[in-house]
Chain A
Amino acid sequence: MIYCSNHDPPAPLFFLYSSQRNPATDLEQPKSNLIAMAMAIKLSLLLLFFLSSLIPTFSLFEDQVGFMDWHQRYIGKVKHAVFHTQKAGRKRVVVSTEENVIASLDLRRGEIFWRHVLGSNDVVDKIDIALGKYVITLSSEGSILRAWNLPDGQMVWESFLSGSKSSKALLTVPANLKVDLDSPIFVYGGACLYAISSIDGEILWKKDFTAEGIDVHQLLLPDGSDVVHAVGVTDLSQFDTYEINVRNGGLLKHASASFPGGISGEILPISSDKFVALDARSSILVLISMKEGQIDLQQTHVSDLIHGSSGNTVILPSKLSGIFSISTDTFIAFIKVTNEGKLDVMQKVDKMVVVSDALSLSEGEQAFALVQHGDSKIHLSVRLVHDMSSNHLKETVKMDHERGYVHKIFINNYVRTDRSHGFRALIVMEDHSLLLLQQGEIVWSRDDGLASVIAVTTSELPVEKLGVSVSKVERSLFEWLKGHMLKLKGTLMLATPDEVAAIQKIRLQSSEKSKMTRDHNGFRRLLIVLTRAGKLFALHTGDGRVVWSSLLQSLRKSDQCTDPTGLKLHQWQIPHHHALDNNPSVLVVGRCGLSLSASSAMSIVDAYTGKELHNMGPAHSTVQVISLPFSDSTEQQLHLLIDADKRAHLYPRTPEAAEIFQRESENVYWYSVEAEAGILRGYGVKSSCNLGVPNEYCFETRNLWSIVFPSESERIIATVTRKANEVVHTQAKVIADEDVMYKYVSKNILFVATVSPKASGPIGSATPDESLLVVHLVDTVTGRILHRMSHSGSQGPVHAVLSENWVVYHYFNLRAHKYEISVIEIYDQSRAENKDVLKLIVGKHNLTAPVSSYSRPEVTTRSQSYFFTHSVKAISVTSTAKGITSKHLLIGTIGDKVLALDKRFVDPRRSLNPTQAEKEEGLLPLTDALPIIPQSYITHAFKVEGLRGIETVPAKLESTTLVFAYGVDLFFTRLAPSRTYDSLTEDFNYALLLLTIVALVVAIFVTWVLSERKDLQDKWR
């Protein structure tokens, strides 16, 4: 009752968020559904006021950071790595990743020294270190060159290289680069060769290769020479080498030789004057040698070289001087190139071996590393190039099989204490994690797969059982003893700093928030995230630690599944009362290829242990996964998977599920969005499939409705639906003057935004007159357009969120040159006459009438637009257990922060001069822009780099919602949009309360004794 207040003291708007905001003002938004209730509510207002004045203010203080939020920084799967270990106090490795992050990592611990996220449209091509103090990065197909200061990551300079056409991007930093304006680094990008000063990034000269039509593959700078060699292919059939003067870019020599067989893949350099390539049919190896300005081609059949090899031959890109490696179907062969140009096969190794680049050791020696995968361990061997026969170093490292195979290896050498060569290897695993191996051990590891989260769901933790606690299982007796020893040491002040840290960790783990059991408030959960590598992680919401991780077998590369990608993550089994013996489980759906018609792969994973319970191999294709609101007797959720032929496949495949579905199939509808064609279609279930074999879990569907957007004026750019598990507390909204508006609450609303085709490009590509943004609200059961509205002079990108009966969307207004946020609220008019109390009492209302999509909706909409300063990456909305608490919009801004904006700011009913009643209701005066209040950034000091999505999960406590924002970084926090009105905060003074109670009891007792005595005296009188 307390929280059902619908009357908000008319607090001045901008005091709401200041530090001295009155807690009573924020308990407003939830609306009661009956007017009659309002009476009781008003009576309880007084009580509410007293109660709420007990609640201290919610603003986050500096020392509260990390109390209920956590932030994790990642970099993604490493593409390139450059070590910087010579004469450096801090040994580090600079990496670039597939998430377009450049980072400098501590080689000792694996921590991030600094990091820059370049964004998805600025792909890093190459990185290198110049002059021992700059990190040089080439990105955006060789058009942006940047230098970063190695110690702190500050950008030193940046050059834009405007090429004429797209080409490969190559970067060559001379080994003997001097701090000298004349000593340049060389970049090939956009079909041009540039010499760029390493001091200030100035372009010294430029040589355009557009006219020559050459596709340069390699850029070589032999030691001590003044000539750059550009080696490439023209028209796929002619080798060309150009020699260019380092000083001025003048062309010194050009030689070419034609090769009619054609070239496939890359030209790989063997030495400064020898290259190797494969012909178009991958059957002939071509050795290209340059002698006195002439090109000499030598052809060798692969089959002659390696007997019994069949197709699929690829030259591996590892640069090993004097030798090269090719991979065939079954093995990898190392081939040596003699000075006379003869090819000798030196060794064959298993196909799963990963080879590093060669590393030059001191006296002209070169070494490279091989990694071989064994049973739950990996074998790392380092070999010298001139002596392939023996291993220079061989180490075996135990490896968690959940990390999969090794994908990449980078090696670095150091001088051991006995002056021999030691090697450390940085390896990238199948799950995108990064590990440093040294002396046969894993020095550190990073779970960088978490930088590419594609789907999130949550799971409850196990219920704490009496007797057997989960924490006991977690920690063995030895650990327990060790912990106590450590604590003893800590209290006796004998602990080293490392041990102090360990004690702190133990303390944190045993603290309330990171327990492995379900809590009363529902704050402790498991966040289950699916990453692009096909690995599932379970993160604890208390501290963000990885509880378990599992590399899904169904999403691993195999012969049947060549290019697996994860798609969706759904809750599969949510045990309630009678099925509590089962663990909850999640369903992972993936696809074995890039096209929509590729077959799909599925796994069902135990949410407590990460064990893969079922693994369904390649089956029908999957375009859409629909979680049906039905579950069978074991609480397994029914799911429909729609394939590319619009057939529906039912899971789980049990007769019981089929029976449930048959019963409900009449009322199952879904829709598809064909964005390219501009058509929305709705479907219903027709009959069982007719595929020759009877299949009771497959259903034919039929098209029930379609919406065809005119291709010349509208193109679909965004579609948003309501969250399936969203709870709406009340259908009625009590507005000023005790009037009621009924929300049109339907689970089947789809928001569709279309723009005119001209305006579908980036902002600025169309004039305001050409661009038109049209938004639609569509009922997905019948295909009715409930509302359609156009914003002239506006264009995308559109980000939207749909909740309850409203949609909020963000777009760009070209006329105002500003971003805008608009809101549409949709109300049901057919229930509008249910306002009469008398009718309610007599029962003449239609509040209990079933709602059907086939009834003609009488809806009205309210909308309003507001300017918004930021561009937006994602929009979400808070969700609570019962939907009573007021909502906040969570806006992921371009600065990778998450802003919480009270939904009241985007109320369409805001007017310039609100009446007294409207002010009482809490309606804010209309402003043309939405305020951005710095305190309402829920990420406070952190940034969620590369923000892609914001998930909200209701806690059991009504006032609180759990927010998980993911991108390259992960961020989790707990949010109470109307503050924690239903619980006492942690700093509540229990002692005072207790003292008061004791004092009251004493007072009662004393007064009782006194009154007894007085009574006695009275009777004696």
Chain B
Amino acid sequence: MKPTIALLLLSFTLLFSSFSAFQSDELLVDDEQFVTGKHPSPELDLSVSSSSSSSSSIPSRSHYPSRSADSNSDSRVQFALEHAFGDSDDFSAAGTFTARLKPNGGQGTLTKLRFTRNDLSTIEKEKFKKLLENDDFYMIRVPSNVLNPPGRDYVISSVKARCLPNDGLDEHFIIHMEGVNILAVTYGSPGACGYHRQLRLPAKWSFNSHTVLKYSEQAPRRPVFSEDIGGGEMGEDEGVKPLEKSFWSKNWMYFIPLVIIVLNAFAQAMSMPEEQASAQTQQPVGAAVRRR
């Protein structure tokens, strides 16, 4: 009994102490600066930005990224998205990615990726319509190095144009990065795009863009056996145990035949008295006849 009371007391004191603790009123501008560890988490930043109808929101649309020097520890990086329609290989500017470059190790990594799409011009809309009609490819490209584009080569990705239209034009970027290099861009619609794509024109000609930045993850390591083995208490810190299924949910299928057999037997048992009853009803009649 005593330990429980002590525990309660402790929790109460903790509760109250947390109330009375110092609360900083500092405005946390960039909480990602406090992320520790050498490697960022693989899926770094999911920012959804839909390009609005006003192109004035794009700050400075330059083809080449500029590293502004105003911020103290990290700097802004811009790189352009270019697109092409179908067979023609001439790419034109389609939008701008903006990100913060965090010095991390030798090269630095990008965080806080933002994306602004340019509006489709009327010519581009026409081209896109043509793509939709022909079920052709809509191609995009980004530089393979964000600091000095285009790097060694452009990273190209493409999708069948008919995959994109939904309400608007839905697109989904996964940018695989290694330092400041872009390895690959996975580009496509966020959902499914099965074969036999139907021709469907979008209701409004603006892009709904989802962007994800991905870094490589470390291969999971097996436990170091010399340390881990031998500890009997190891089972305790295994974390959440998988939900053990109940006896019924595991073995229900065994009972189906059993139930069928039982039902069968039951049905037979039910029909037996019936027969007997009918036999009994008939027998007295016969007897009566004989008696007669």
Contacts and interface: CB of A to CB of B under 8 A. Distances in A.
B186 A785 contact: yes
Nearest to B184: A707
A915 B242 CA distance: 9
Contacts, number: 155
Interface in A780-797: 782-785, 788-792
Interface in B137-182: 137, 139, 144-145, 151-160, 163, 172, 174, 176, 178-179, 181-182
A708 B178 CA distance: 11
A843 interface: no
Interface in B241-266: 242, 244-245, 249-250, 253-254, 256-257
Interface of A: 38-39, 42-43, 666, 677-679, 684, 686-687, 702-711, 713-714, 737-738, 774-775, 778, 782-785, 788-792, 822, 830, 849-852, 854-856, 863-866, 912-913, 915, 917, 926, 928
B228 interface: yes
The residue in A39, A711, A822, A855 that gathers the most chain B C-beta atoms within 10 A of its C-beta is: A855
B189 A856 contact: yes
B34 interface: no
B183 A912 contact: no
B55 to A, nearest CB: 28
Contacts of B144: 708, 710
Contacts of A702: 87, 89
B216 to A, nearest CB: 5
A854 B156 contact: no
Contact of B193 (A713, A789, A791, A855): A855
B223 A912 contact: yes
A785 B184 contact: yes
Contact of A708 (B87, B153, B163, B196): B153
A677 B144 CA distance: 13
B254 A42 contact: yes
B223 A856 contact: no
A680 to B, nearest CB: 8
Given A706-B154, A710-B179, A856 B192 contact: yes
B260 to A, nearest CB: 12
Given A704-B139, A709-B183, A789 B216 contact: yes
Contacts of B59: none
B158 A708 contact: no
Contacts of B193: 852, 854-856
Given A783-B184, A913-B235, A737 B221 contact: no
A855 B191 contact: yes
A856 B181 contact: no
Given A706-B155, A784-B188, A917-B245, 10 more contacts: A43-B257, A706-B154, A710-B178, A710-B179, A711-B152, A790-B216, A791-B218, A855-B191, A912-B223, A912-B228
Question: Which 3 pairs of residues, A with B, have the shortest CB-CB distance?
Answer: A39-B253, A710-B181, A708-B144
B214 interface: yes
B217 interface: yes
A785 B176 contact: yes
A788 B186 contact: no
A704 B257 contact: no
Contacts of B3: none
A851 B194 CA distance: 6
A408 B89 CA distance: 55
B287 interface: no
A714 B178 contact: yes
B204 interface: no
Contacts of A687: 87
Given A782-B188, A866-B222, A737 B250 contact: yes
A788 B217 contact: yes
A427 B180 CA distance: 61
Given A782-B186, A856-B189, A707 B222 contact: no
B192 A852 contact: yes
Given A702-B87, A852-B195, A854-B159, A784 B186 contact: yes
Contacts of B151: 708
Contact of A850 (B194, B218, B228): B194
Nearest to A794: B219
12 contacts: A38-B253, A42-B254, A704-B137, A704-B139, A711-B152, A737-B242, A738-B245, A784-B188, A785-B184, A849-B194, A855-B189, A912-B234
Greatest chain B CB density within 10 A among A702, A706, A738 is at A706
Given A39-B256, A704-B158, A783 B225 contact: no
A42 B257 CA distance: 12
Contacts of A864: 220, 222
Contacts of B220: 863-865
Contact of B153 (A706, A774, A788, A789): A706
Given A774-B216, A789-B218, A790-B218, A850 B196 contact: yes
A702 B87 CA distance: 8
Contact of A865 (B158, B192, B221): B221
Contacts of A789: 216-219
Contact of A855 (B158, B194, B257): B194
A854 B152 contact: no
Contacts of B249: 738
A866 B222 CA distance: 8
A589 to B, nearest CB: 29
Contact of B155 (A707, A774, A778, A830): A707
B183 A708 contact: yes
A863 B221 CA distance: 9
Contact of B219 (A785, A791, A912): A791
Contact of B222 (A784, A785, A850, A926): A926
Contacts of B217: 788-790
Interface in B203-228: 214, 216-223, 225, 228
Contacts of B256: 39
B216 A710 contact: no
Most B Cβ at <10 Å: residue of A684, A708, A912: A708
Contacts of B184: 705-708, 778, 783-785
A217 to B, nearest CB: 45
B108 interface: no
Contact of B214 (A708, A788, A849): A788
Contacts of A830: 192
B273 interface: no
Interface in B100-153: 135, 137, 139, 144-145, 151-153
A926 B152 CA distance: 43
B284 interface: no
Contacts of B158: 704-705, 782
B233 to A, nearest CB: 12
Nearest to B157: A705
A192 B216 CA distance: 51
| Residue from A677, A703, A789, A856 having most chain B Cβ neighbours under 10 A | A856
A707 B254 contact: no
B186 A865 contact: no
A865 B244 CA distance: 27
A711 B184 CA distance: 14
Nearest to A38: B253
Most A CB within 10 A of own CB, among B152, B235, B244, B256: B152
Given A704-B156, A792-B218, A713 B178 contact: yes
A645 to B, nearest CB: 15
Contacts of A684: 137
B156 A706 contact: yes
A666 B195 CA distance: 12
B239 to A, nearest CB: 12
Contacts of B244: 915
A646 to B, nearest CB: 13
B156 A679 contact: no
Nearest to A927: B225
B222 A928 contact: yes
Contacts of B159: 782, 854
